[in-house]
Amino acid sequence: MDVETDLAVVIEQLPGVLAGLQREGEAFPLSFYEQGVERYLTGIRHGDEVELECMTTSLQWTADPSVEYLRTEQAEYMFYALRDSYSAAVDSVCPWLAHVPAFVKWKKIVSQGQAVVPHNMKPSRPRRR
């Protein structure tokens, strides 16, 4: 499977995922919609837990399990760490991009009211029910 565009697809949707993690009981999507991957995650925060369900349009693959649960703090850690790592990489590797209006807007949206993830927190594996 060619997953060359996955990072771009996730980064594009990161503001919605981060916002969704803050809202109790409201579904938020994370779609890997590119041809050949076509996986669709739906997350829902339930207090100290986030339910992630994976669906696909492929007839040749099925998620097993299709639903997993993470502690909310672990889900937040993963997505905020992605935000922080991506922003740091852009600043380091491609500093001119850090000043492009679209990136400035993205960074502002994903940073609104959110603290940087503590780097000493270690994510745990998702659990199945």
Q: In the chain, pLDDT over 70 holds for what percent of residues?
A: 84
| Residue matched to tokens 């100290």 | 48
Q: Could you report the per-residue pLDDT of 86-121, keeping only the tens digit for each? A: 999 999 999 999 899 999 988 888 887 454 444 444
Quick: pLDDT tens for 2-22. 556 788 888 989 999 999 999
CA proximity to 13, closest of 75, 79, 69, 67: 79
How many whole angstroms separate alpha carbon 107 and alpha carbon 62?
A: 34
> Rounded to two decimals, what is the model's pTM?
0.79
| pLDDT value at residue 115 | 41
Sequence ranges of the domains in the chain: 6-111
What is the average pLDDT value for the chain, to the nearest integer?
A: 84
Q: Across residues 26-46, what is the average pLDDT?
A: 88
Beta strands 49-56 and 39-46 are: antiparallel
pLDDT (tens digit per residue) in 59-90: 788 888 999 999 999 999 999 999 999 999 99
